[in-house]
Amino acid sequence: MPIALITGGHGDLAQALKSELTAQEYSVYAPGKAELDIRSADSVWEYIKQLGQLDLLVCNAGIIRDKPLLQMTAEDFEAVLSVNLTGHSLISRAALKMMSKQRNGHIVFISSHAALNGTAGQSNYAASKAALHGLAASLAREYGSRNIRVNVVLPGFLETRMTAHLNDAQRENFKQSHVLNRFNDPASVARFIAFLDKQMPHTSGQVFNLDSRIHRWT
């Protein structure tokens, strides 16, 4: 039975993915911050080690501290990077140790539209997510010879607790940027990640954008 670990396990996308993978006969671990603090190398390694096997790591944990840069403190910037980027580099490092011994594994980074086009008031978040793309490409090159895949998934705008703070006008503005004039949903994203893991064994180093926004090339 394949074993999957999802960081940020109490989030809406993580819970949808846990349900989907469980239905496809994975053994799924989806810890929250209290159980697994990805900012701590010791916490990460102890958690990974007790699994004994790891086939799929989904780096889903993320935080936001939205402000224009001139109003953002250094701590605001660093706090977001410490989870969204550094934390996922730490847990990827631990996972790669185990996957290298297995000669098999798959890491999926959850990114954002902000990584491609930027979002006003989210310079810290956009920077953290954009950096994941470079991290994923490098890891795919470094560990492909050991049959380890690394990919990036951009779920698009999802109606979740993380986006609940947006007002109706902001939601409508986001919706109009989609050519299908509708948002994605956690269950659809979960099905795609499961398909990517089980049915696309020859795919690595790729970025998958799952909504209907057409990104500008600059």
Residue 125 annotated to the active site: yes
Contact predicate 4/21, CB 8 Å: yes
Q: How far apart are CA 2 and CA 200, in angstroms?
A: 15
Answer yes or no: are the C-beta atoms of 53 and 3 closer than 8 Å.
yes
From the list 26, 29, 47, 125, the catalytic residue is 125
Sole residue written with tokens 């490092």: 93
Backbone angles phi, psi at 53, to 5 degrees: -160, 145
Q: For residue 207, which of 145, 148, 143, 156 has the smallest C-alpha distance?
A: 156
- Dist CA 158 CA 206 (whole Å): 21
Please give the full DSSP string across 70-116, using - where no structure is assigned.
GG--HHHHHHHHIIIIIIHHHHHHHHHHHHHHHT-EEEEEE--THHH
Q: Which residues are catalytic?
A: 125
